Amino acid sequence: MAKVKLLIDTDIFIDYFNLGSLQAVFQSKGYEIYYSIITKKELLSKPGLKESERQTIISTLGRYRIILLDDRITITYSKIRYDYPALEKEDALIAATALTRKLPLLTRNWKHYKIVAGIALFKNA
Domain 4-113 CATH (choose: 3.40.50.300, 3.90.105.10, 3.90.79.10, 3.40.50.1010) = 3.40.50.1010
Query: How far, in Å, CA of 47 to CA of 71, rounded?
Result: 30
Give yes or no for a contact between 96 and 73, defined as CB atoms under 8 angstroms apart: yes
pLDDT (0 to 100) of residue 66: 98
Cα distances from 5 to residues 65, 96, 108, in angstroms, run 10, 16, 17
* Share above pLDDT 70 across residues of the chain, in percent, rounded to a whole number: 98
- Indicate whether this model's pTM tops 0.85: yes
Res. 125: pLDDT tops 60:
no
